[in-house]
Amino acid sequence: MLLEKYTDHINEILSRYPVRRSALLPLLNLAQREDGYVSESAMKEIARILRLTPSQVYEVVTFYTLLNLKP
């Protein structure tokens, strides 16, 4: 999972954004760089980290064409 592997990097990203949800795109980018796409489990984990619903994260992923749902 992202948090286990990238704890320091995630904390560094979160420290740059006083409003947690503002870190959504950088965290999605991190997930995509890891797997080549944004997996459902990554979306759920990011939602938990940012205190968002998974559907809020999914909406952002499907809005931006630079983010992929499939490998």
Amino acid (one-letter) located at 26: P
Count CA atoms within 13 Å of residue 26 on its CB side. 16
Q: What is the pLDDT of residues 35-53, one digit of tens each?
A: 999 999 999 999 999 999 9
CA distances from 6 to 3, 42, 56, 63, 65 (A): 5, 12, 22, 25, 24
pLDDT of residue 1: 72
Distance CA 68, CA 13 (A): 21
* Cβ neighbours of residue 35 closer than 8 Å, sequence gap 6 or more: 42, 71
Structural domains in the chain, sorted by start: 2-63 (1.10.10.1590)
Which H or E element spans position 65? none
Its pTM stands at 0.91
